[in-house]
Structure 1
Amino acid sequence: MTAREIKLGEVLTHLIARSEYSRNRRPIHDAVGISAAALSQYTRNQTRPTLQKLVALADFFGVSLDYLVHGEPTGATVDHGPLARYVDHALSEVRAKASRQSALVARLGRLLAERIETTAQELGTAVGEGLILDDEALRLEGYCIAADIMPLNLGFNVISMEGGVAAPGQFLHTVAQNLQKGCKYRFLLTGNPDAQDDLVSRFRALLRSHAGSDHVYQNCTFRRTEQPVMAYAVFYQLDVESLIHAEPLLYEQFAGYVDDDGQLGYVVRPNNESNLDMLMGSDRVGSARQAFEALWAGAAHL
């Protein structure tokens, strides 16, 4: 056993004996993070504390590491030497780095907010208030309880290909899923009866393959009107509660156009070059639906 180890045990025993903890060493154990057995082994020089424990013991008794280890006082000021200075320097570096990162995060947040605002303004200018994109209409239709549709054509649901082959259009899968959930569809068509009969036949066949014949028979009806129509329209009866729960931002975007009964309507664009339809004001959906109902009542079944 070295003289240094003997000094440590003697100094530690002396410090404990002259302190108020000579009869109750628990505060030493708690402050340093050691057991009673470990402290006893230190005083008897049976084990040697780690550097971390030495520093903690020196801090607890208010002495220097030199005094604790060698029994040589270095003055009234406790100085743990290079280790303490290194720790202070490391802490300063950590604080400085954290401050720089906080400033960077704040700057990035501001830049992102500005970019989002600019993009939103650009989208608002490009799309325009009161207009609805095809993909937005498709998402809204997924929350329909009922849908009344007077389309320009059935191109959004069935695509006619060469050789009499029909392929699903953009909206067909959503229509099929809604039919399976019990959503009621009414399609009111205009124009050439022969062309309509062929398209409806293909549309029904695709729906049956995706949703099942029973659902199509029960929930999907087609009629044709001979009355002149100036514009084509779509009316959704929405499950507003489900829409708000699943897509609150989508609901907020169109909330001003949904009436008290959860109805939303839009006028179908009169050409195939645009992908924007015009929303009806919530105060006008009711009268527009009345016009649809009058046309539907006088229309022929397909």
Structure 2
Amino acid sequence: MLTLLIDRSVYSRNRRPIHDAVGVSAAALSQYTRDQTRPSLQKLVALADFFGVSLDYLVHGEPTGPMLDPSPLARYVDHALSDIQAKASRQSALVARLGRLLAEHIETAAQQLGTAVGEGLILDDEALRLERYCVAADIMPLNLGFNVISMDGGTAAPGQFLHTVAENLQKGCKYRFLLTGNLAEQDDVVRRFRSLLSARAGSDRVYQNCTFRRTEQPVMAYAVFYRLDVESLVHHEPLLYEQFSGYVDDDGQLGYVVRPNNESNVDILMGKDRVTPARQAFGALWAGAAQL
């Protein structure tokens, strides 16, 4: 039957397409047609597929059943494809509409946020997220309440920023805290702060990377300066960077003025041109301050 199929096909004079499709040599195919060797089941299936016949027909010369009219199947496939295309079109329109609605809601939310917070301001949780990308931080706080909370009975609890400070110290971030106010009170708070940090980052890291000083100079405003790992910030929180990129100078420095009371949760960002002179003022105070 194989010989008959070949002779009746367009491959009677050129059998190379059969060799390539089935994966047999010319010699092997010739042996099959002369019944000198028998093809494997895999080759039989490949030959049957190539000529579009059943295995029974290829081996015995008889079809396994009545010939099927492919027209109904073709019509079914055409109908199914049309249905799929129609559904895909409807879903594309739905996705586009959802995209527009989401964009409108996002724009509205952004406008509301801008109205509520205001350009040039930074919330506590935003400052906390930025501090995670610090390689150095100079901090002149109103108090250390964001890092250590004094409890009744002389105990202390970690504040909002303490865990981030501890993680940064473990990564080698350098902290300088410049404090003001009563010496005895500041000594006690710093002692508690160091104790909480040591429990999380290790005492060696705390004494190597975290320094406290106290100035007796009058201070009109309190401030925080971050030197940021901008590349890491852009990679992990691109939207956060985009929000504050206008306030980060070429050296990756960002500064903000700490609010003078605990009633608000918003601080004021410094312009790029103000960060360097403000850090220099901090450095001058630091140089004349006493170590705690």
* TM-score > 0.5, shorter chain as reference: yes
Does residue 120 of the first structure (1) align with residue 110 of the second (2)?
yes
1:269 paired with 2:259, answer: yes
- Which of residues 74, 89, 95 is equivalent to 1:105? 95
Amino acid at match of 1:289: R
1:150 Cα deviation after fit: 0.5
Aligned to 2:29: none
**1:91 Cα deviation after fit:** 2.7
Aligned match for 1:247, one of 216, 237, 241: 237
Aligned residue for 2:272, secondary structure, equals: coil
Deviations 1:77-109 (A, max 9, x none): xxx554444333333222222221111111112
Please name the residue that 2:49 is paired with: 34
SS at match of 1:284: helix
Mapping of residues 68-147 of structure 1, within 5 Å: 82-147=72-137
After superposing the two structures, state which structure 1 stretch, 153-162 or 98-107, moved more.
98-107
With over 3 angstroms needed to count, the CA separation of the structure-2 counterparts of 1:38 and 1:294, relative to structure 1, is same
After superposing the two structures, state which structure 1 stretch, 248-257 or 276-285, moved more. Answer: 248-257
Return 205-214 or 241-250, whichever deviates more. 241-250
Aligned to 1:173: 163
TM-score (norm 2): 0.79
**1:48 matched to which residue of 2?**
64
Deviation at 1:240, TM superposition (A): 2.0
Question: Mapping of 1:219-230 within 5 angstroms?
Answer: 219-230=209-220
Instruction: Indicate the larger mover: 274-283 or 106-115.
Output: 106-115
Give the match's secondary structure for 1:109. helix
Question: Residue 237 of structure 1 aligns with which residue?
Answer: 227
Identify if the C-alpha distance between structure 1 residues 37 and 232 changes in structure 2 by more than 3 Å, giving closer, same or farther: closer
Counterpart CA distance in 2 for 1:140 and 1:284 is 19
- CA distance change for structure 1 residues 87 and 293 in 2, over 3 Å: closer, same or farther? closer
CA distance in 2, matches of 1:235, 1:227: 19
Work out the percentage of aligned pairs sharing the same amino acid.
75
Give the match for residue 152 of structure 2: 162
* CA–CA distance in structure 2, aligned partners of residues 147 and 36 of structure 1: 77
> Which one-letter code corresponds to 2:62 in the other structure?
Q
Give how far 1:247 is off.
2.3
Give the direction of change, closer, same or farther, for the CA distance of 1:81–1:256 in structure 2 (3 Å limit).
closer
Match of 2:44 in 1: none
Q: Using a 3 Å threshold, how does the CA distance of structure 1 residues 81 and 145 change in structure 2: closer, same or farther? A: closer
After superposition, the Cα gap between the structure-2 partners of 1:164 and 1:34, relative to the gap in structure 1 and judged at 3 Å, is same
Question: How far apart, CA to CA, are the structure 1 residues paired with 2:98 and 2:174?
Answer: 48
1:13-32 aligned at under 5 Å gives the runs 17=8
Alpha-carbon distance in structure 2 between the residues aligned to 1:91 and 1:181: 58
User: TM-score, normalising length from structure 1?
Assistant: 0.76
Corresponding residue of 1:186: 176
Offset of 1:115 from its aligned partner? 1.5
> Which amino acid in 1 is paired with 2:149?
I
CA RMSD in angstroms comes to: 2.9
Could you tell me how far apart the structure 2 residues matched to 1:33 and 1:153 are? 86
Q: Where does residue 34 of structure 2 map in the other structure?
A: none
State the one-letter code of the partner of 1:46: E
Q: Is the 8 A contact 2:136 2:228 kept in 1?
A: yes
